[in-house]
């Protein structure tokens, strides 16, 4: 792996570092909005006292902490592969470019020694999973890889209850930040009551430390709801999701193409409003993730 010198120095000296994914750049938003968002997220991490490390694969080499020029290229270049755990060896061996998903980003973050990873929403069990068995690798990674993921819950296109059941089975602590209701990505109201409510970055850091001290392998999911001022109307977004899911089914879209199609179509159906909410929630997650990383470094001193 190629680790950015600033990131490497921070890791060696117990300074806070926050990992960021690259799929949101290559497969989540159109250019130049994708690059602008990536740079805003990095800036938010810095403003809250941590070092950002955007992760991707360039010419077969995993990069921990991409430069602004590399992020720009990720935003413009077509044909960059969406990389999960299964794709890593292929992309590396073929010396290709790869945009890391939640699972792949977790793997490289763990290898580099980064505990905190910020994203928009993690993958999970798709609706109708009882027939399709379509479950994101993200859940397996959370069950086995030692990285804490800060997100606005899971992607709203998924079956939230089934996803949470799977996370429970895999022993993944799901921490709900400052609310007793599970974060619903575009909105704050999923209707699912949570057991483990946390109210400060310091409290989250203490839970992470306890999990690591007792060698309880696997990740932690911190569900950080979108701020109310940026949340979408429940009826509007749920209507758009339902229509996009029907179109996806009619077009026989499957596998790793499902999520990019749905998110793009939802943006179109909401007149761009869902994209703006997506950007705001990622930035909000970056703020919390940086604060948790700082608190964790203090505990480790």
Report residue 5's pLDDT band, with 50, 70 and 90 as the boundaries: very high
- What CATH number corresponds to the domain at position 270? 3.40.1790.10
- Which phi-psi region, left, alpha or beta, contains residue 96 (left: φ > 0; alpha: ψ -120 to 50)? beta
> What is the structure's pLDDT at 142?
98
Contacts of 230 (CB under 8 A, 6+ apart): 276, 277, 280, 281, 284
- How far is residue 241 from each of residues 16, 247, 257, measured CA to CA in Å? 37, 10, 16
> What is the structure's pLDDT at 300?
94
Average pLDDT of the chain, as a whole number = 95
| Domains: count for the chain | 1
The residues annotated as belonging to the active site are 21, 155
Its domain, for residue 260, covers 2-300
> What is the structure's pLDDT at 102?
97
The whole-angstrom separation of Cα 219 and Cα 88 is: 20
The whole-angstrom separation of Cα 142 and Cα 120 is: 15
Q: 225-277: per-residue pLDDT in tens?
A: 999 999 999 999 999 999 998 998 899 888 778 877 888 899 899 999 999 99
Judge whether residue 73 has pLDDT over 90. Answer: yes
Judge whether residue 132 has pLDDT over 80. Answer: no
Q: 9-32: per-residue pLDDT in tens?
A: 999 999 999 999 999 999 878 899
> What is the structure's pLDDT at 131?
79
Calculate what percentage of the chain has a pLDDT beyond 90.
86
Report residue 105's pLDDT band, with 50, 70 and 90 as the boundaries: very high
> What is the structure's pLDDT at 263?
82
Q: Which of these, 108, 107, 21, 32, lies nearest to 73 by C-alpha position?
A: 32
Q: Which of these, 143, 105, 156, lies nearest to 278 by C-alpha position?
A: 156
> What is the structure's pLDDT at 293?
98
Calculate what percentage of the chain has a pLDDT beyond 70.
100
Count of residues making up the chain: 301
The encoded tokens of residue 277 equal: 């909410």
């Amino acid at each position: 792996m190629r680790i950015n010198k600033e990131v490497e120095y921070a890791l060696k000296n117990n300074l806070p570092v926050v990992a960021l994914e690259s799929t949101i750049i290559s497969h989540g938003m159109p250019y130049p909005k994708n690059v602008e968002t990536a740079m805003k997220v990095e800036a938010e991490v810095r403003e809250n006292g941590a070092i950002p490390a955007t992760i991707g694969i360039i010419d077969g080499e995993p990069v921990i902490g991409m430069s602004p020029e590399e992020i720009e290229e990720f935003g413009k270049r077509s044909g960059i592969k969406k990389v999960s755990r299964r794709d890593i060896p292929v992309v590396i061996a073929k010396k290709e470019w790869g945009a890391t998903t939640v699972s792949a980003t977790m793997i490289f973050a763990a290898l580099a020694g980064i505990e905190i990873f910020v994203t928009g929403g993690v993958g999970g069990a798709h609706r109708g999973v009882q027939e399709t068995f379509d479950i994101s690798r993200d859940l397996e990674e959370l069950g086995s890889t030692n990285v804490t993921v800060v997100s606005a819950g899971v992607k709203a296109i998924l079956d939230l209850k089934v996803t949470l059941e799977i996370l429970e089975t895999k022993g993944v602590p799901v921490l709900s930040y400052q609310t007793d209701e599970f974060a619903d990505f575009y909105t704050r109201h999923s209707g699912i009551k949570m057991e483990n409510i946390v109210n400060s970055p310091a409290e989250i850091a203490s839970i992470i430390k306890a999990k690591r001290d007792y060698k309880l392998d696997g990740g932690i999911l911190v569900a950080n709801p979108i701020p109310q001022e940026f949340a979408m109307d429940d009826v509007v977004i749920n209507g758009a999701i339902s229509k996009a899911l029907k179109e996806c089914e009619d077009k026989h879209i499957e596998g790793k193409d499902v999520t990019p199609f749905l998110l793009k179509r939802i943006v179109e159906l909401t007149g761009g409003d869902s994209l703006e909410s997506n950007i705001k929630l990622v930035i909000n997650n970056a703020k919390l993730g940086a604060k948790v990383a700082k608190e964790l470094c203090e505990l480790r001193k």
